[in-house]
């Protein structure tokens, strides 16, 4: 105790005015507690506001009531023996995935739906779909592909997508006028960790120590990560090429080509003249050529002129041919009629 008194005595304020000192400590603690209580109250209020406003988003006029069934078995539309179209729909409040699960869709079907509309989804958007379902002895045994989808955003604008299989057996999803919704090019040809350098006409080169154009985008990735062809095309270069190091150039059409540089190695079977398809592995990430670390240097060229891969507009996959367009439109109108009939039946 004597040591404590001697230690406290080294502080003049405690020694001369102990009451004032301990009062300051007390009020300081009270102030801290008050700030904590106020902040906690604000957080609770914000949470309450979020929970009430989240469900007050204006929805499309045709959104089904919350107490209406979310799915309807459509036995009146047989596709073939044991196969039927089934209707479902949901409003998106939190995420596409949660809305799809609530509507009874499986992962594959949610993925199909996200490929159709996923980039433009907002709270309050609504979707309705018809999908194939297989039954055996009145028991559902599998859920198949989505065959028709309607998407209405929270501004009331509606889009439709339909699945169609051409005479050669190739299936795809198309708009009502026969345009393919699937992009012809991958957004990124490699699974990367970060963009280490962007497209620029005036970039300081870390090896050459001078400014020059950087005509692509650098996608950093671990050594050996597979690199994929951005789209269908023909190999026009496969080998060593100056600063690119180990590189592959692909010609996709008379006006579009892509370049892939700094590879660790080129994939087997990739040679000049080889036809490759979208997503095919053409090489592996490395740091050959003028590179400081493992990454893919990716270029997109239009009529031989380099364009920014992150902003350039690339074509979609092939549309329905003129010869097949009448048959497709009959097919699409039939599916739309069934979809709208089930909507009315569900909301009735």
Write out the chain's pLDDT in tens, 348 residues. Answer: 555 455 445 555 445 556 666 666 766 677 766 665 555 444 443 333 332 222 222 223 333 334 333 444 443 455 556 677 888 888 888 788 888 888 888 888 888 888 888 767 788 888 999 988 887 766 666 788 899 999 988 888 889 999 988 888 888 899 988 888 888 898 899 999 999 889 888 777 777 777 878 889 999 999 999 999 999 999 999 999 988 999 999 999 999 999 999 999 999 999 999 999 999 999 999 999 888 889 999 999 999 999 999 999 888 888 888 888 999 999 999 999 888 888 776 655
Q: Residue 27: count other Cβ atoms within 10 Å of its Cβ.
A: 10
Query: What is the pTM for the complete model shown?
Result: 0.57
First to last CA, the chain: 84
CA distance 110 to 6: 74
What span, in angstroms and rounded, lies between the C-alpha atoms of 288 and 29? Answer: 62
- Which among 197, 279, 290 is positioned nearest to 247, based on CA atoms? 290
- In whole angstroms, give the CA distance from residue 3 to residue 151: 78
Closest by Cα among 198, 132, 157 to 62: 157
Distance of CA 101 to the CA centre of its chain: 18
Q: Which helix (H) or strand (E) holds 30?
A: helix 18-53
Let me know: does 223 contact 287? Beta carbons within 8 Å.
yes
């Amino acid at each position: 105790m004597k040591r404590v008194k001697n230690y406290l005595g080294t502080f003049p304020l405690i020694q001369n005015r102990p009451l004032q000192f301990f009062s300051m400590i007390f009020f300081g603690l009270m102030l801290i507690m008050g700030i904590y209580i106020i902040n906690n109250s604000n957080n609770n209020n914000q949470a309450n506001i979020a929970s009430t406003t989240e469900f007050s988003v204006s929805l499309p006029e045709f959104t089904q009531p919350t107490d209406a069934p979310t799915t309807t078995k459509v036995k009146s539309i047989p596709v073939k023996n044991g196969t039927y179209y089934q209707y479902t729909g949901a409003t998106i409040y939190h995420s596409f995935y949660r809305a799809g699960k609530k509507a009874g869709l499986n992962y594959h079907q949610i993925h199909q739906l996200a490929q159709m509309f996923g980039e433009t989804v907002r709270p309050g958007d609504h979707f309705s779909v018809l999908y194939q379902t297989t039954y055996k002895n009145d028991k559902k045994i599998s859920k198949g592909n989505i065959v028709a989808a309607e998407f209405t955003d929270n501004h009331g604008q509606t889009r439709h997508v339909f699945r169609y299989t051409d005479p050669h057996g190739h299936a795809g999803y198309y708009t009502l006028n026969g345009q393919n919704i699937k992009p012809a090019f991958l957004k990124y040809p490699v699974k990367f960790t970060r963009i280490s350098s962007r497209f620029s006409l005036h970039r300081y080169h870390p090896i050459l120590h001078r400014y020059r154009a950087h005509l692509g985008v650098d996608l950093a990735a671990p050594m050996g990560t597979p690199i994929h062809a951005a789209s269908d095309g023909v190999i026009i270069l496969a080998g060593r090429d100056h600063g690119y190091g180990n590189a592959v150039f692909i010609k996709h059409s008379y006006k579009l080509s892509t370049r892939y540089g700094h590879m660790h190695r080129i994939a087997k079977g990739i040679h000049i003249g080889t036809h490759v398809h979208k997503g095919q592995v053409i090489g592996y990430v490395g740091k050959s050529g003028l590179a400081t670390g493992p990454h893919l240097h990716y270029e997109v060229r239009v009529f031989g002129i380099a364009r920014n891969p992150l902003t350039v507009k690339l074509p979609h996959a092939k549309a329905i041919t003129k010869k097949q367009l009448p048959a497709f439109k009959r097919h699409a109108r039939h599916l739309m009629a069934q979809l709208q009939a089930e909507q009315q039946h569900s909301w009735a």
